[in-house]
Amino acid sequence: MGFEDEFIKVESYTVAEMDTWVRLSDFFTSGIFKTIPSRKAMKNAIKKGLVKVNGDIGYTGDHIKGGDIIEIFKSKTHKIKPSIPINIDVIYEDDYLAIVNKPCGIVVSGNKRWTLENSLSTNLKKSRTEDALQRPEPVHRLDYPTSGALLVGKTAQAVMSLNKLFEERKIKKTYTAITIGLLKDSGSIITTIENKTAKTEFKILRKIASPKYEFLNLTELKPFTGRRHQLRIHMSELGNPIFGDLKYGKEGLMLKGKGLFLHASSLSFIHPFTNDKIVIEAPLPKKFTKLFPEKEDRN
């Protein structure tokens, strides 16, 4: 069976003149391809052999220059991805995007069945727009043990627009963590993570003394960059690792069985379609409020 028997061409684009070449995997600009809403989607399409350059199967390292013809294909046999019955708290939703409160202990996306992405179609309303996605797509990730606000695109254009906002650092994220040890009230840390600059600001919201941990600090964290495990690494480098962190915690002071006390507590950005300012907060999990009750008992 030949390529044409298995796949059908859905888009074609002729590259304009460029001063220099770029890799095929990096050739993505919002709006070029209607069926490719993000760089991640482009790389996945290349990996699956669904991208051709000048009639030949494209590879990530191919050099793209002016005049090249890039074609996008899709399989003639539609593979149905699973939908799983996990109830997810939807904090905000409209026709373009949604913000959900991700539980800890579940991956956002991937090849496994039990992912948050596979639960979105059963938790969110179908968009009424022409470019509505059959399956809403998360536009960023939270680690498996991290809970909190996760931004989701419901249309192809929304995914592209939200990815652009992230690239331009126009989406502000705030996290809440419980850190251990004596920590100054506020400050910042700038280091190199995986050969890239990483910056985090921190501020103690409340603290309680602890015989074992010296102090438990309810800490606000604001990342200015998005390196992998950035917040966990930075707090560990300060000597105040996040409570329950089995990877970056201090030997002998690692809490087991309660998970990581790191929560994406808010997202702030300008809505790419309505121009409204969106500020959404995700309520703290119970394990946080057991240690730091939201309403103090004054009796």
Q: Is 245 a catalytic residue?
A: no
Share of the chain above pLDDT 90, in %: 66
Read off the tokens for 171.
């989406």
Catalytic pick among 62, 68, 143, 245: 143
pLDDT of residue 28 exceeding 90: no
Backbone angles phi, psi at 42, to 5 degrees: -65, -45
DSSP 70: E
What was the pLDDT predicted at 299? 42
pLDDT of residue 262 exceeding 70: yes
Do 117 and 105 contact (CB within 8 A), yes or no?
no
Backbone angles phi, psi at 26, to 5 degrees: -100, 0
What was the pLDDT predicted at 158? 93
State in Å, rounded, how far the first CA of the chain is from the last one. 77
Mean pLDDT, residues 17-44 taken together:
79
pLDDT of residue 77 exceeding 70: no
Of 142, 59, 61, 127, whose CA–CA distance to 97 is shortest? 127
Q: State the Cα–Cα distance between residues 99 and 97, nearest whole angstrom.
A: 7
Mean pLDDT, residues 54-62 taken together:
91
Of 273, 236, 244, 286, whose CA–CA distance to 261 is shortest? 244
Do 228 and 258 contact (CB within 8 A), yes or no?
no
Q: State the Cα–Cα distance between residues 204 and 224, nearest whole angstrom.
A: 18
pLDDT band at 297 (very low <50, low <70, confident <90, very high): very low
Mean pLDDT, residues 190-219 taken together:
96
Q: Which residue has the higher pLDDT, 42 or 208?
A: 208
User: The dihedral of CA 191, 193, 199, 204: what is its sign?
Assistant: negative
Do 116 and 141 contact (CB within 8 A), yes or no?
no
**Cα maximum dimension of the chain:** 77
**CATH code linked to domain 3-75:** 3.10.290.10
